[in-house]
Amino acid sequence: MKKSYEYLISFFLIAIALSCSSEPGVFKIYGTIGVDDDTKVYRVIADQNNQPIKIDSSIVKSYKFEMGGKSKYPNISFIQIEGFNFNIPFIVEEGNIKIETKDFVDAIESIRYDIQIAAQNGNNNLINDLQQDYKNVQDQIYSYELEFLKTNYDSYLSAILLDRFISAKVLTIPDAKEEFQNFSERIRFSEIGNKLNDLFESPNQPLDIGYIVPDFNAPSPDGVIINLKKELGKVTLLEFWASWCAPCRRENPNLVKIYNRHKDEGFNIIGVSLDKNKNQWTQAIADDYLTWKHVSNLKFWQDPIAKLYNITAIPASFILDQDGKILAKNLRGSQLASKISKLVDIR
């Protein structure tokens, strides 16, 4: 339990270029951090194999430290704090750079210590409470970082933050792309800006929350061609399944209950089967009382819809709004029932 906390820490340093240097390429780092005196702080870079190399260090005195050096171009370095198992990225560029924290180091260290004690005592209830405390601190960190990003669109650090928000799923790709479009031209066409733009423009993006799903046409058991977008309700569950899939069949009674409870409130289900035998497919529909719309190309894993949606295992599902935007993915049992109930109530 303790180890998981050590590696889940989000970074929370904000680095701001305060002024230009009189000597080209020279930078000076002025840091304020809530750790004990004599704690070592390192500046770290990644080598060609993405392994950390310590290239400078400083000793904390009265919560402050300083470092300096030269850098011809802006580049990414990392701050590493003695006793903490994470590296914190920031931008090194010409001038004076201020690095500060919000009082999060002490809070995280305190929670980490309390979890260690609770684990030693076998106090699982306390560990659960501390997990929530940790999440609250992490939410504060994300909020602070997002506020910085939204008020510093001409900062390299904002681009790094945006990249981290995508990785941590703090922002969806569509929301991140919207923020990216606010960046200055200098940042959009920087090295990290080009990396982000390549991500946004990639044709092979995973279908994640916030995306609009691709449309499709496919035959029903009666041979009628069904169009996804025309069948979308207020809330729609797009369910990938098959008659031969035991976990799918076990989940079907739960889907029937949810559908019957909410079908008059704008909830719909569209089943996409990966069957290859029509009789087995239609018999499973009848046996499991699946009264919603169904489609299948009867091509097993080669089904074009499954390929379009990158389905590699079933059951798989997407909860969509009326425009086809993904609201949630792969929920089952009580979690699915609760999510659908909330969505139909607020939409």
Please report whether residue 52 resides in a domain: yes
**Residue 38 lies inside a defined structural domain of this protein:** yes
Domain boundary among 151, 168, 200: 151
pLDDT at 108: 65
User: Are residue 232 and residue 142 in the same domain, yes or no?
Assistant: no
Give yes or no: residues 15 and 98 share one domain: yes
- Among residues of the chain, what percentage have pLDDT more than 90? 41
Tell me, yes or no, whether 143 and 229 share the same domain: no
pLDDT at 305 (0 to 100): 94
Q: Give yes or no: residues 335 and 229 share one domain.
A: yes
Model confidence at 204, in pLDDT bands (50, 70, 90)?
low
| Of 184, 177, 314, residue with least CA distance to 239 | 314
Q: Which of 103, 127, 151 is the last residue of a domain?
A: 151
pLDDT digits (tens, 9 = 90+) for 302-330: 999 998 898 888 999 999 999 898 999 99
Span 21-41, pLDDT tens digits: 446 778 888 888 878 899 999
For residue 30, what is the domain's CATH number?
A: 2.60.40.10
Position 2 scores a pLDDT of 29
User: Within a domain: residue 266?
Assistant: yes
Distance (Å) of CA 30 to CA 80, 93, 159, 221 = 15, 13, 22, 69
Q: What is the CATH number of the domain that holds 256?
A: 3.40.30.10
pLDDT confidence tier of residue 103, bands split at 50, 70 and 90: low
Average model confidence (pLDDT) across the chain: 82
What is the span of the domain harbouring residue 313? 217-346
- Give, as one character, the DSSP assignment of residue 263: G
Instruction: Tell me if residue 255 falls in helix, strand or coil.
Output: helix
pLDDT band at 102 (very low <50, low <70, confident <90, very high): low
Instruction: Indicate whether 327 belongs to any domain.
Output: yes
Does residue 317 belong to any structural domain of this protein? Answer: yes
Same domain, 12 and 132: yes
- State whether 145 and 229 are in the same domain: no
Quote the number of domains for the chain: 2
Judge if 147 and 221 occupy the same domain.
no
Tell me if 193 is assigned to some domain: no
Are 146 and 170 a contacting pair, CB within 8 Å?
Answer: yes
Quick check: 93 pLDDT over 50?
yes
Average pLDDT over residues 122-136: 78
Q: What is the mean pLDDT of residues 259-279?
A: 94
Would you state the pLDDT for residue 4?
29
Return the SS3 of 210.
Answer: coil
- Give the E-state strand segments of the chain in sequence order: 14-19, 26-32, 40-46, 52-59, 64-70, 75-81, 87-92, 95-100, 217-219, 225-227, 235-241, 267-273, 293-295, 316-321, 326-329
Q: What is the mean pLDDT of residues 101-128?
A: 73
- Whether residue 260 lies inside any domain: the answer is yes
Which of 103-107, 185-189, 331-335 shows the lowest mean pLDDT across its residues?
103-107
Question: Which of 116, 151, 186 marks a domain boundary?
Answer: 151
Instruction: Give the model confidence (pLDDT) of 52-88 as tens digits.
Output: 789 999 999 998 999 988 887 677 788 888 877 666 7
